[in-house]
Amino acid sequence: MTIKPLIILPDPLLRQISAPVERVDDDVRRIADDMLETMYDAPGIGLAAIQIGLPRRLLVIDLAKEGDDAAPQVFINPEILTSTDERSVYEEGCLSIPDYYAEVERPAGITLRYLDREGRQQEIAADGLLATCLQHEIDHLNGVLFIDHISKLKREMVVRKFTKAAKTRGSKAI
């Protein structure tokens, strides 16, 4: 398993719409394992393939508490089937927008259809942090970032800060 470099705002890749995974094979399982390794190293609780530069509809999540056994979950070609009218607010972060957190309101519950790492179709109902994290990661598959759910003023400030930081990094590179 390999830890991959993370794609950081304002990289245009983060705005790309990811393509469906056509076949769940060993290559896809290897990518999922690399994503989990990258997510644990960061550390984070979720990761979409585009965050390591791969525009494929694949995401990983692990919501195990510190000290508990790892509980990795792989979701391939996830589709939200239903969303509750009830909404919940959670303070979200993003490994592609390091050290920035903001409250985001989303449907409190969803039902989801997806393929697991063996390529079997599954359906689940999710609420709480799992519902929030799945929606955050599925947004990534559609080129949407959590800052798109906050005010335009705050979003523009964040994008400006990260654009400046990227330019500084670029000017220091040989």
Q: Give min distance, CB of 29 to Zn ion, in A.
A: 22
Q: Which of 31, 94, 104, 133 binds Zn ion (CB under 5 A)?
A: 94
Which position among 36, 73, 136, 147 is part of the footprint of ligand K1U (CB under 6 A)? 136
Q: Judged by CB, which is closer to ligand K1U: 84, or 119? A: 84
Q: Does 58 bind ligand K1U (CB under 6 A)?
A: no
Tell me the residue type at 131: A
Question: Rounded CA gap, 48 and 59, in Å?
Answer: 4
* 137 annotated active-site: yes
CB of 85 vs ligand K1U, minimal distance in Å: 21
Taking CB atoms within 8 Å and a gap of at least 24, the contacts of 37-44 are 37/1, 37/2, 37/3, 38/2, 38/3, 38/4, 38/6, 39/95, 40/70, 41/3, 42/6, 42/95, 44/93, 44/95
Minimal CB distance to Zn ion: which residue? 94
Torsion of CA 44, 29, 8, 167, to 10 degrees: 140
Residue with Cβ nearer ligand K1U (34 or 137):
137
Just list the catalytic residues: 137
Q: Where along the sequence are the contacts to Zn ion (CB under 5 A)? A: 94
Q: Where along the sequence are the contacts to ligand K1U (CB under 6 A)? A: 43-48, 90, 92-96, 132-133, 136-137
